[in-house]
Amino acid sequence: MIAASNDPPSLISPNSELPLNPDIAPLKLGVLASGSGSNFEAIAQAIVNRQLNAKIHVLIYNNPNAKAAERAARWHIPAVLLNHRDFTSREALDGAIVQTLSDHDVEWVIMAGWMRIVTNGLINAFRDRVINIHPSLLPSFKGAHAIQQAFDAGVKITGCTVHLVRLEVDSGPILMQAAVPILPDDTLETLQTRIQVQEHRIFPRAIAIAAQL
Ligand code: GRF
């Protein structure tokens, strides 16, 4: 019997798949992630499933312990550590990010749980091509603790938002949202799990929509 594993269901690299339409070039993505990388993985899976015509050229992560890097290795996607502690300013970190993305021929920047505030250096280098996901129905509950804030506020519906990135944190044109009810017996953990299910569903779709604007 083959043992169950946490590996992706298929070890085919998302980069090895043919594009949906051979006349349309795949989007050239660079993903920024600080943590678990489940959204990074959802995008890779959507590419393999041919739901998103794209290729992930590189993952950049800032936290040496980020699980996202392990996921990238399993998908055979190059991963580059740019530890923010090695840089003297946000601008210097973003300069290194822009250089790394350019070195990997990236055209679209996907912030998938990137827990650093970005500067104009990155935003202007990829004008209208930097996309973020946030775990609330923006413009409600901006910031790093959005799920906790919604939970504490007693709202009955929260959700997640995919949007273009502007200098003001968690602002910018909204591409797609999904609503998630807060149930009477929810804990922070059960709510977060249901929000992430929706994040994984809408993020690849929103990237495809952004490319058509
Ligand atoms: C997501 O909930 C996203 O909305 C927020 O950070 C989380 C990242 O999760 N910005 P993961 O690393 O993709 O699992």
Q: Is the Cβ atom of 33 under 6 angstroms away from ligand 1?
A: yes
C-beta of residue 116 within 8 angstroms of C-beta of residue 84? yes
Annotated active-site residue 134? The verdict is yes
Q: 193: part of which helix (H) or strand (E)?
A: helix 188-212
Provide mean pLDDT across the span 136-147. Answer: 98
Which CATH superfamily is 27-212 part of?
Answer: Formyl transferase, N-terminal domain (3.40.50.170)
Q: Is the Cβ atom of 36 under 6 angstroms away from ligand 1?
A: yes
Cα separation, 166 vs 94, in Å, equals 14
Cα separation, 71 vs 65, in Å, equals 12
| pLDDT-derived band at 2, boundaries 50, 70, 90 | very low
Look up the pTM and report it: 0.90
pLDDT computed for residue 111 by the predictor: 98
Provide mean pLDDT across the span 94-122. Answer: 98
- Residue 41: Cβ within 10 Å count: 22
pLDDT averaged over every residue in the chain? 91
Of 117, 133, 162, 169, which is best to mutate to test ligand 1, by the most ligand atoms within 8 angstroms of its C-beta?
A: 133
Q: Which of 76, 84, 134, 200 is catalytic?
A: 134
pLDDT computed for residue 23 by the predictor: 64
pLDDT computed for residue 20 by the predictor: 52
pLDDT computed for residue 24 by the predictor: 77
Which residue lies with its CA nearest to atom 1 of ligand 1?
113
Cα separation, 16 vs 34, in Å, equals 25
| Tens digit of each residue's pLDDT (9 = 90 or more) over 58-93 | 999 999 999 999 999 999 999 999 999 999 999 999
C-beta of residue 35 within 8 angstroms of C-beta of residue 56? no
Q: Is the Cβ atom of 159 under 6 angstroms away from ligand 1?
A: no
| pLDDT-derived band at 213, boundaries 50, 70, 90 | confident
Cα separation, 120 vs 16, in Å, equals 33
